[in-house]
Every structure is written in C-alpha cells, then in structure tokens.
Amino acid sequence: MIGVIDHFGKGYATEALRAVIPALFERMPLASIGDTGFDYIEGRTAVENKASQRVLEKAGLSYCETGLQDFENPLRGKSDSVWYRIARPGKTLRELGLIPREVNEDDDKPPTPPIQ
C-alpha cells in the first residue's frame, strides 16, 4: 500500500516502476502514430524529495531539468521540482529535444537547491 511507513526503503516503488515502464511502451503506440502515442515517460517530484528522485533514477529515468516554483504541495505550498524522463527504446531524449542544452546527458544528478 502506498504511504505505509513499513514499506518505505524496501524497493517496492522502484520494482513497480521498472515493471510499468516497459509495459507502457509495449502497449502504447509511437507518438508519430496518432494523438494517443508517446515516445517518452516523464516523472516529477519536489526538489527536496530525494527518495522519489532515487526511485526515478533506479527505474532508468534521467534528470532533465529543474522547475522553479512549479510544484504544488497541499501542505507546503509551491516549491521547486525536478523533472526526470526516459525515452522509448530506439529513441533518445536528445533526439526528442527533451534535454536542455545546459544539461549534460551523462549527468543524471539534479542540482542542489539554493539555501534559503
């Protein structure tokens, strides 16, 4: 069950995401084949949520960018977020135009947020 403290850190979220990603790519058409297809999967979390970032990284997603004040948390309000993506097999994030020029494709570590 999601949110059960006893399940934190056991790898369940990573395992589930690793199973879902290939299944989605197998079942959904390419973006070039109509309006329902897609060529990448995107994940976003609050910049301070390191555990969720690790889940995305372990599942094969790459850090792509940081959004400023674009993450709405019902308890804490707005904060910065980090965006991770994974391309469909046979495609790359670079060819899809999803890696900003200033991000090195090999560097999947998000920047440390500024101290406030």
Q: What is the CATH number of the domain that holds 98?
A: 3.40.630.30
| More confident of the two residues 88 and 102 | 88
* Single-letter amino acid, residue 102: E
Asked if the structure places residue 75 within a domain, the reply is yes
* Average per-residue pLDDT for the chain: 82
Question: Whole-angstrom Cα distance, residue 91 to residue 98?
Answer: 11
- Using the 8-state DSSP alphabet, how is residue 103 labeled? S
Q: Is 41 helix (H, G, I), strand (E, B) or coil?
A: strand
pLDDT at 84 over 90: yes
Q: Which domain holds residue 63?
A: 40-103
Instruction: Give the residue-averaged pLDDT of 51-65.
Output: 94
| 0.75 surpassed by pTM | no
Q: How many domains would you assign to the chain?
A: 1
Asked if the structure places residue 68 within a domain, the reply is yes
Asked if the structure places residue 87 within a domain, the reply is yes
Asked if the structure places residue 30 within a domain, the reply is no
pLDDT at 116 over 50: no
Asked if the structure places residue 95 within a domain, the reply is yes
Asked if the structure places residue 62 within a domain, the reply is yes
**Do residues 60 and 69 make contact, with C-beta atoms less than 8 angstroms apart?**
no
Asked if the structure places residue 90 within a domain, the reply is yes
Asked if the structure places residue 21 within a domain, the reply is no
Q: What is the residue whose two structure tokens read 């792509």?
A: 64
